[in-house]
Amino acid sequence: NKGKYKHYMQKEIHEQPESLTTTMRGRLLRGGSCKAKTVLLGGLKDHLKTIRRSRRIVFIGCGTSYNAALAARPILEELSGVPVTMEIASDLLDRQGPIYREDTAVFVSQSGETADTLLALEYTLENGALCVGITNTVGSVIARNTHCGVHINAGCEIGVASTKAYTSQIVVMAMLALAIGGDTISKQERREAIIDGLFDLPNKIREVLKLDQEMKDLAKLLIAEQSLLVFGRGYNYATALEGALKVKEVALMHSEGILAGEMKHGPLALVDENLPIVVIATHDACFSKQQSVIQQLRARKGRLIVMCSKGDAASVCPGGGCRVIEVPQVEDCLQPVVNIVPFQLLAYHLTVLRGYNVDQPRNLAKSVTTQ
């Protein structure tokens, strides 16, 4: 049932304040004045000790689920102190990459049925690692075959392009980082800031959804373009990959997410006055590096659209000349949850304006059950 919306993708984008609330329900505890703020993931509580002691955490997934894990990687490294590596499921299988008994492997999948992820799970089980699932579908094969896990509880997702599952996956993995991080005193302030940020996140998503019309106007400008580049780094490297994936898969426009630190190692050659480029430059530890990326792109007459934190428009684009998308600022590790929303809206409007099928893009299936 699409209710007041024209398409499932549109409905699922706009219901993110509610889906995120459901994802966090009963899992974030903020007691009375003297009670500490904590996270409780029922499905993991008996396994946290093993996870903390593991030699490495390996995230495994495909497509949007992989991107969600990439977004959560820095905060997991920071809070857990355990090295975190990333595997695209098919690539792990192609390489028969090393997996050890001392590893914790985290399988991220909305459907819980993706063939590549499932085969990677079988491979990982054979190698003796602890297997943790992060799935949206209770009773799915991945939920059943992992040793333990967390349901993201985002509600049924129908649009082929994953939207609300992505934001709920990141939130679950941020909670996972808090749970593994435990209660070290030195990180208490940071943990409490993240928990406060999680409580307030649905409100911030409500705020960023107000950019709907602005993203529709941007889509009108970009409707006839051949290509769109997206530059991000740090917490928002994943946003660049996921934003580009959304535009590519539904609007059928070539789009590429690029790690901004790699700009001078090739991508800079593409820059001219015609190719539209989105630079994600919201406020975090990488901000000044992104400011310098913007300067260098402008020096080459790049056609820039800059995503920045509210109030930063003048400092990201001194003298004007860029189109600016201002988003609400949240705790740095949660910023990818906010920043992806304008890309989802842009991809949606571009698709409708270009006259393509939003919910069922050509050649794609919601759940990829063959290799």
Where along the sequence are the contacts to ligand UD1 (CB under 6 A)?
Answer: 42-43, 133, 135, 138, 142-143, 146, 148-151
At closest approach, how far in Å is the CB of 368 from ligand M6R?
A: 5
Which is closer to ligand M6R, CB of 64 or CB of 153? 64
The token pair that represents 224 in the structure block: 């006839």
At closest approach, how far in Å is the CB of 31 from ligand UD1?
A: 17
Paired with 305 in beta bridges are 278, 323
Which is closer to ligand M6R, CB of 65 or CB of 309? 65
Which is closer to ligand M6R, CB of 145 or CB of 367? 367
Residues near ligand M6R (CB under 6 A) are 62-65, 109-111, 114, 117, 160-162, 245, 249, 364, 367-368
* Residue 284: contacted member of ligand M6R, ligand UD1, none (CB under 5 to 8 Å, by partner type): none
Which one, of 261, 233, 253, lies nearest residue 346 by Cα? 253
301: left (phi over 0), alpha (psi -120 to 50) or beta: left
Which is closer to ligand M6R, CB of 80 or CB of 140? 140
d(CA 33, CA 215): 42
* Residue 148: contacted member of ligand M6R, ligand UD1, none (CB under 5 to 8 Å, by partner type): ligand UD1
At closest approach, how far in Å is the CB of 117 from ligand UD1?
A: 11
At closest approach, how far in Å is the CB of 138 from ligand M6R?
A: 14
Which is closer to ligand UD1, CB of 118 or CB of 293? 118
d(CA 242, CA 165): 12
* Residue 114: contacted member of ligand M6R, ligand UD1, none (CB under 5 to 8 Å, by partner type): ligand M6R
* Residue 151: contacted member of ligand UD1, ligand M6R, none (CB under 5 to 8 Å, by partner type): ligand UD1
Which is closer to ligand UD1, CB of 184 or CB of 369? 369
* Residue 117: contacted member of ligand M6R, ligand UD1, none (CB under 5 to 8 Å, by partner type): ligand M6R
